Amino acid sequence: MIDPGFLFVFLPVLGAAVTHGPVLKWNLFASLARPLDCGATFRGHRLFGDNKTWRGAITMFVGAAGAALILASVPWYWGILPQEIRSAGALPFALLVGVGTPLAELPNSFLKRQLGIQPGTRKRDVLGTLVSLVDQGDFVLGISVLLLPIWRISLLQLVLAFTAVSVVHLMVSVVGFAIGARKTVL
C-alpha cells in the first residue's frame, strides 16, 4: 500500500494561486508584467506568449515557496511528507517547489504556442484536448523533476499525483466557469 503523504508535496502550489490571483486582479507590480520570452519566436510562433510574465513567475515562486515554509511549520503537514523531504529540510523543499511551480508551466506553454493554441483557448481535436488535460497537472511533473535532489517520486506516485491534481484542477475550473471567473472549462 502506498502512503498518501506524497500527495501533500504539491499542496504549496495553492500558495501560487493565492498570491497570483490578487496581483492579476489589481494589476499589481505592473512593471514586471513583461513576457518571459521577450517576444522571441521559434518556427514563427512565440516561445511562451504574453501570458507568461516575470510578474507571474516571481509571484508564483513567492506564493508557492512561502506556502511551503508556512506549511512546513505545521506539524501534521510536515509529518506526513516523505521522509527524504523532511530530512532535506523546509528551506530546500520550499525553494525547489517555488522554482518548480512557474517553471513547470513553460514546456506546455511552449507546446501550445507551437501548435497555434492561443492563451486561454484550446483546439477542439484530440491533440488539443490532450494538451489541455496535461495543462491541468503540469506542475506535478515539473516539481517532481526539481525535487529530484532531495526526493524521488515513484512512477506510480507520479501517475496518482498527476491524476489527483488534474481532477481537482478540473473541478476548480468547472466551478470557475460556472461562476463566470473563467471563460473556458479546460
| Rounded distance between C-alpha atoms, residue 146 and residue 152, angstroms | 10
pLDDT in tens, the chain (186 residues): 788 999 999 999 999 989 998 998 899 999 999 999 999 999 999 999 999 999 999 999 999 999 999 999 999 999 999 999 999 999 999 999 999 999 999 999 999 999 888 877 777 788 877 887 788 889 999 999 999 999 999 999 999 999 999 888 888 777 777 777 667 766
Distance, first Cα to last Cα, the chain? 32
Q: In the chain, where are the structural domains located?
A: 4-178
CA 126 vs CA 59, 112, 123, 129, 134: distances in Å: 33, 13, 8, 5, 12
pLDDT of 125: 83
| Rounded distance between C-alpha atoms, residue 38 and residue 54, angstroms | 10
- pTM listed for this prediction: 0.91
Under 8 Å between Cβ of 67 and 95: no
Under 8 Å between Cβ of 39 and 46: yes
